[in-house]
Chain A
Amino acid sequence: MTSLPPAPTPKQLGLVIDLDVCVGCHACVVSCKEWNTGGYGAALSDQDPYGPNVSGAWLNRVHSYEVVPDGGEIVGESGEARIVHFPKSCLHCEDAPCVTVCPTGASYKRADDGIVLVDESMCIGCGLCAWACPYGAREMDLAAGVMKKCTLCIDRIHNETIEEVDRVPSCVRTCPANARHFGDLADPGSDVSRMVAERGGMDLMPEQGTRPVNKYLPPRARRPLAASAPGIPLAEETDGAKGFFAWLDGMLDRI
Chain B
Amino acid sequence: MHPALSIILFTTISGLGYGLAAVLGLGMLDPTAVPTKVAHFAALALISGGLLFSTLHLGNPQRAWRAFSQWRSSWLSREGVMAIVTFVPLCMGAYAAIFESRHLVVSGLIGAACAAVTVYCTSMIYASLKSVQAWHTPWTPACYLLFSAAGGLLLGVFFAAIAGAGGALMQMLALLLLAAAWAAKFRWRREMLAMRPLSTPESATGLGHIGQVKLFERPHVNENYLTREMGFKVARKHAEKLWRLAVLLGGMMPALLLVAMPAASGWLAVALAAAAVAAHFLGVLVERWLFFAEARHAVMNYYGG
Contacts and interface: CB of A to CB of B under 8 A. Distances in A.
Whether A and B are associated in the same complex: the answer reads: yes
Interface of A: 1-4, 19, 26, 29, 53-58, 61-70, 72, 82-84, 86, 88, 97, 99-106, 122-128, 130-136, 139-142, 144-147, 202-209, 216, 218-219
B299 interface: yes
Interface of B: 1, 57-61, 63-64, 66-70, 72-77, 80, 125, 128-132, 198-199, 201, 203-207, 209-220, 222-226, 229-230, 297-299, 301-303
B76 to A, nearest CB: 4
A2 B73 contact: yes
B227 to A, nearest CB: 9
Contacts of A19: 207
Contact of B298 (A103, A104, A106, A208): A208
A84 B209 CA distance: 13
B204 A128 contact: no
B244 to A, nearest CB: 28
A135 B203 CA distance: 11
A106 B67 CA distance: 10
B226 A67 contact: no
Contacts, number: 202
Given A104-B67, A145-B58, 17 more contacts: A3-B73, A53-B222, A58-B219, A65-B215, A82-B210, A101-B73, A131-B1, A131-B229, A134-B130, A134-B199, A134-B297, A136-B230, A140-B59, A140-B229, A206-B203, A216-B206, A218-B206
A126 B57 contact: yes
B9 to A, nearest CB: 16
A68 B225 contact: no
Contact of A139 (B1, B69, B225): B225
A146 B131 contact: no
Contacts of B219: 26, 29, 58, 61-63
A147 B225 CA distance: 11
Contacts of A219: 207, 210
Given A55-B224, A105-B69, A66 B214 contact: yes
Contact of B299 (A56, A123, A134, A146): A134
Contacts of A70: 211-212
B201 A101 contact: no
Contacts of A216: 206
Contacts of B128: 101
A65 B201 contact: yes
B76 A126 contact: yes
Contacts of A106: 66
A97 B136 CA distance: 13
A202 B1 CA distance: 28
9 contacts: A55-B222, A63-B219, A66-B213, A69-B211, A101-B73, A101-B128, A131-B230, A134-B131, A146-B60
A202 B206 CA distance: 7
Nearest to A202: B206
Contacts of A62: 219
A132 B135 CA distance: 12
B74 A68 contact: no
Contacts of A54: 222
Given A61-B219, A65-B205, A123-B60, A131 B297 contact: yes
Contacts of B230: 131, 136
Contacts of B225: 55, 57, 130, 139-140, 142
A103 B63 contact: no
Given A100-B73, A103-B80, A204 B297 contact: no
A72 B210 CA distance: 10
A65 B219 CA distance: 10
